[in-house]
Structure 1
Amino acid sequence: MANESETEAGPQATHLESALEGTRTALDRAVCRAGRGIAWLIFIAMAISVAEVLARYGFNNPTSWVHESVVFLVAVIFAFGGPAALAKNRHIRVRVIYDYVSPARRRWMDVLNDGVTLLFCVAMSYAAYVMFWRSTHDPMGNWTLERSGTSWNPPIPSLIKGAILVALAVMTVQALLHFIQSLRGNGPGQREPTAPARDTAI
């Protein structure tokens, strides 16, 4: 019989394996684990939104910071959705041709796909860097954060552009590692499907 500790650890281990399904590298697995923490930002956004509704309509005392805070939190979640989707190979794709070609041709399709993804991520990272630089520096090159211009006036625009830059930089490294794997013949099309786990407890 399985002991009590194995029984308790079983569902947690299964849930973690499910969360990491489709990952190709250690960086992908780290992104998935970080994503589980970042996902809680949506709960924080919801909680402060509810508090704002109560303050505004229940006590006639609206805040000046909730709206922009929610915009920032949701923007961060969306930005890091890119690395999470790339890590788990859950991006949108059409597999009509891919599923019907030989493994050898599938390998080169993996190389082409990962190469195009890498070029796209490099280009987008450069664009994000330019956008972030302009948001954090004045025309003279001095450090000056772009602000929202509201009564609270936080540097939310600069922070969001910084989050986008970080997310795209992570995606660029992910794409590079995926490209190297595909060149070595270890792309998604070359990996054996994982056999389903069986319960061996008696």
Structure 2
Amino acid sequence: MSEKSPQSTDITEVLETVEDVSPERNGLDRLISRGARGAAWMILFAMGISVVEVFLRYGFNSPTSWVHETVVFLVATSFALGGPAALAKNSHIRVKVLYDNVGPRMRHWMDRFNDLVILGFCITMSYAAFHLFWRASHNPMGDWQLERSGTSWNPPIPGLLKGIILFALLLMTVQALLHFIQSLRATPEERT
């Protein structure tokens, strides 16, 4: 008979609590959560190339021109994709003072209102991101030309990042729409 250590029991309870608090609501949320785990590795890669840069710069007096912008791109991409990941896990920041002190029926209406506000926010931000991306991806004549950083390496990172931000916001808009539809269809008993 094997006994579980007290520490492993505590970790299991914490993981079960986290899953209860932040469930994914649909297939898109599950897909985004899986993708977010993969995208999180970008941070580790950014750290790795930063370490190589420090080693090359101070160990061999041979700095690179591409590491800083690549690290900024990787971290910014990870940050932008964190929005859909947080929405998928229902782990965005919320003030629970009112929510915890009302009954299931009122919580149901508060969930609907919250989903509607998130949808409105995502639509508005997607509209703004579209205009930012359009200006970053087209020259004044209207031809496709990604905005570049203007450094010695001069990659199209600003234009790419604005495209990634637009993608993340459009993804969040679809998520928010699905969440709002689900909250309209749900009964108060289903939304405990």
- TM-score of the two chains, using structure 2 as the length reference: 0.87
Pairwise CA distance, 1:97: 1.1
Does structure 1 residue 94 correspond to structure 2 residue 102? no
Taking the aligned partners of 2:144 and 2:67, their CA distance within structure 1 comes to 26
Counterparts of 1:1-202 in structure 2, within 5 Å, are 21-185=22-186, 190-192=190-192
CA, structure 1 residues 19+41, in 2 after alignment: closer, same or farther (shift >3 Å)?
A: farther
Point out the more displaced range, 152-161 or 98-107.
98-107
CA, structure 1 residues 186+47, in 2 after alignment: closer, same or farther (shift >3 Å)?
A: farther
CA contact (8 A) 2:136 2:159 kept: yes
Deviation per CA, 1:159-178: give whole Å up to 9, x if none.
Answer: 11011011001100000011
Pairwise CA distance, 1:24: 0.6
Extract structure 1 runs of 4+ deviating beyond 3 A. Answer: 18-21, 189-192
Pairwise CA distance, 1:19: 6.9
Matched AA of 2:145: T
Matched AA of 1:154: P
CA contact (8 A) 2:148 2:158 kept: yes
Deviation per CA, 1:22-64: give whole Å up to 9, x if none.
Answer: 1111111101000000000011101100000011000011101
CA contact (8 A) 2:99 2:110 kept: yes
Pairwise CA distance, 1:95: 1.0
Among all aligned residue pairs of Structure 1 and Structure 2, give the percentage whose two residues are the same amino acid.
Answer: 65
CA, structure 1 residues 29+165, in 2 after alignment: closer, same or farther (shift >3 Å)?
A: same
Matched AA of 1:190: E
Taking the aligned partners of 1:40 and 1:19, their CA distance within structure 2 comes to 22
CA contact (8 A) 2:149 2:158 kept: yes
Corresponding residue number in structure 2 for 1:198: none
- Structure number with the higher helix fraction is 2
How many residues were matched structurally? 180
CA contact (8 A) 1:103 1:190 kept: no
- TM-score of the two chains, using structure 1 as the length reference: 0.83
CA contact (8 A) 1:19 1:32 kept: no
CA contact (8 A) 2:32 2:84 kept: yes
CA, structure 1 residues 117+140, in 2 after alignment: closer, same or farther (shift >3 Å)?
A: same
What is the Cα-based RMSD across aligned positions, in Å?
Answer: 2.4
Corresponding residue SS for 2:191: coil
Matched AA of 2:131: V
Taking the aligned partners of 1:69 and 1:57, their CA distance within structure 2 comes to 19
CA, structure 1 residues 30+136, in 2 after alignment: closer, same or farther (shift >3 Å)?
A: same
Taking the aligned partners of 1:185 and 1:191, their CA distance within structure 2 comes to 7
